[in-house]
Structure formats: C-alpha cells, structure tokens
Amino acid sequence: MKYLPHTIMTYLSRLGYWLLPQSCFLCGDISHQPLCHACLADLPYQQTACNRCAYVLCSISETCENCRREPVVFEDAKTVFAYEYPVDKLIHAAKFHQNLAILDLLGQLMAQYITVETLPDVLIPVPLHPSGLRSRGYNQALELAKVIARYHHIPLDYTACQCIKKKRKQSTLSGRSERRKNVQGIFQVKQVKSHWQHVVLVDDVVTTGETANELAKVFLQAGIQRVSVWCCARRN
C-alpha cells in the first residue's frame, strides 16, 4: 500500500499524455508519450553485450574478459540500453526529479525489449537503503519491476530482501575490488518462497555488476537455484 500513490500518479501521468499531448522530454516536439517516436528510435539500444554481466562489447562475444577472469555469481544479465546520452539524462530525471512518466516509459521499454524463453518465478527489485527510500519517496527499481511484472504476468516481491547497510555510490569508486568491498554484507534475505527456483533481480543501472552480484549471492545462499539480472542501462 505504501507505493500505491506512485502507481496512481503514474497512471494519471500516462492518461494525461493521451488526453492532452505534451512535449517530448528530449526534443520538445508534441508527443503522446514522454518521448516522441524519433527520440525513442534514436535511444542507444544495446546491441552486443556480455551474456553474463551485460558489459557493452564492440562485437558479438559470449562473455567479457572480466567474467572470464572472475565470473559473477548470477547466471546472466540483460539490459536494454548503454548508459550514455540521452539515457543517462532520462534515468537521472526518473530517479532524482520524480519524473514518473519517464520512469514508467523506461519500465515499458524494459518489458518490451527483454525477451526470455521461460519466465522467471519472481521479480525482485534491488532494494534501497531505508534512508534513501525516505528521501526519494520511491524505489525506482521497484517502479520498473512493477511495469515489467504487469506486462509479462510475472509475480513481483519487494519484501523478500532488504538493504541493511548504506553503501557509497558505486560509480564514485574506481576499482572492481573496491566496489565489491563497498557492497559486502549490505543485503539480507528475509524470506524466499519454496517454489522459487529462478529469481530475476531488477535494477535501473548496473555499473560493474557488483551490487547485483552481492544480492545474487544472498539469494543463492538462501537456496535459490538460479539468479538473473535485468537492468535498464549498463554503465561501462
């Protein structure tokens, strides 16, 4: 119930675009959606990426060098965009300026572009630390997961785990080991359902995959057999 007002606001904003066309967030043209068709088509959709961690690669390759050297514990990762202009601007607006219409659109794009042969048992949004949730008012990963869950009819659970320790921003740290250390012990699994075998973690941005890797670790320790990651954008 805590998140209901945001759901209502998202619907209202979606309805608002249809009833009264507004301007495209990027180019300013009249649009029935937060982005016009031309801007939507121009987004940096990710073409080639590592199938383990979604690291953007220049050519088709199964796994990146990092994953060959030190594999992540999640089985695979899927991403829609490379984290570059204007996706960085969209995510910033969705995350820090309460632009729920953009957040909803990013969720819809994730739902449409991420395809799988068999659906997972549950979607788990990467939790925010309670202090971050209080100051932002919503968890952007949960809002994205809600759209994907509705689109694909996948159950969603945002109570299965929690963030118990505040971390420094991963993007401010340079080395992989520094990032890995920064997220150690920040998550705790509260409950997993007995029929869950394949869990998908949902996040807005994956930087090196260390946060998702840490959360995947605690789910594997809790007895989940398979963990995947779906993210909106991968920062290289």
CB of 217 to Zn ion, least distance (A): 16
Residue 211 tokens read as 């946060």
56 touching Zn ion, by CB under 5 A: no
Among positions 55, 74, 138, 187, the unique one binding Zn ion when judged by CB under 5 A: 55
- DSSP 8-class letter at 171: G
Amino acid at 52: R
Which one, 12 or 27, has the nearer CB to Zn ion?
27
39 touching Zn ion, by CB under 5 A: yes
Residue 197 · residue 225 · CB < 8 Å: yes
Which one, 27 or 164, has the nearer CB to Zn ion?
27
87-106 residues near Zn ion, rule: CB under 5 A:
none
How many angstroms from the chain centroid is the CA of residue 81?
11
Residue 166 tokens read as 């505040």
Among positions 6, 10, 34, 50, the unique one binding Zn ion when judged by CB under 5 A: 50
CB of 171 to Zn ion, least distance (A): 18
Cα 58 from Cα 49, distance rounded (Å)? 8
230 touching Zn ion, by CB under 5 A: no
Which one, 22 or 162, has the nearer CB to Zn ion?
22
Smallest CA-to-CA distance from 154 within 111, 203, 100, 101 is with 111
Torsion of CA 35, 154, 204, 109, to 10 degrees: -20
154 touching Zn ion, by CB under 5 A: no
43 touching Zn ion, by CB under 5 A: no
* b/e map 39-56, b = 16+ CB within 10 Å: bbeebbebeebbbbbbbb
Cα 82 from Cα 205, distance rounded (Å)? 9
CB of 9 to Zn ion, least distance (A): 23
Count of residues that interact with Zn ion, criterion CB under 5 A: 12
CB of 142 to Zn ion, least distance (A): 26
Q: Where do contacts with Zn ion occur on this chain (CB under 5 A)?
A: 24, 26-27, 29, 36, 39, 50, 52-53, 55, 64, 67
